[in-house]
């Protein structure tokens, strides 16, 4: 599946239809992130687009979506060793800071601890 994503789906589908299918649909956006993580496909360009879109949203409606993206940012930013995402180590520190600054509201603080990820 990862090979198909690299060779066929990335340019022909994901990037081509990004604005029409992902940019304005939060459910598609967050489900795409969840599924790409599940299959272990960590293309830097696509993950950067996912995190840029998240940070630039006016609002994240669901606390679980916020938690998902925050945990994925932390995971990919700290990936090391034999991990498929090791090449992304240290690339998303700015995104993490921007996400916390913009979307970690008082309402979210009592529901989710960004320091521990719980």
If pLDDT is split at 50, 70 and 90, which confidence band does 107 have?
A: confident
Parse the chain into domains and list their residue ranges: 2-109
Helix H, strand E, coil C: the string for the chain is CHHHHHHHHHHHHHHCCHHHHHCCCHHHHHHHHHHHHHHCCCCHHHHHHHHHHHHHCCCCCCHHHHHHHHHHHHHHHCCCCCCCCHHHCCCCHHHHHHHHHHHCCHHHHCCCCCCCCC
What does the block give as tokens for 72?
């994925």
For 14-58, the pLDDT digits (tens) are 999 999 999 999 999 999 999 999 999 999 999 999 999 999 999
Whole-number mean pLDDT of the chain? 94
Higher confidence at residue 118 or residue 21?
21
Q: Is the pLDDT of residue 117 over 90?
A: no
Residue 7 pLDDT > 90? yes
Predicted TM-score (pTM) of the model is 0.93
Q: What is the pLDDT of residue 67?
A: 96
pLDDT given for residue 57 in this prediction:
94
**Per-residue pLDDT tens over the stretch 60-80:** 989 999 999 999 999 999 999
Residue 97 has pLDDT above 90, yes or no: yes
């Amino acid at each position: 599946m990862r090979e198909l994503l690299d060779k066929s789906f990335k340019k022909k589908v994901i990037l081509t239809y990004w604005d029409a299918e992902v940019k304005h649909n939060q459910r598609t956006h967050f489900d795409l992130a969840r599924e790409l993580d599940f299959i272990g496909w960590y293309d830097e360009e696509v993950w950067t687009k996912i995190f840029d879109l998240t940070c630039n949203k006016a609002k994240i409606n669901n606390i679980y979506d916020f938690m998902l993206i925050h945990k994925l940012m932390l995971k990919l930013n700290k990936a090391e060793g034999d991990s498929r995402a090791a090449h992304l180590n240290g690339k998303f520190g700015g995104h993490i800071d921007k996400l916390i600054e913009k979307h970690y509201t008082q309402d979210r603080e009592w529901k989710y601890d960004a320091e521990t990820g719980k």
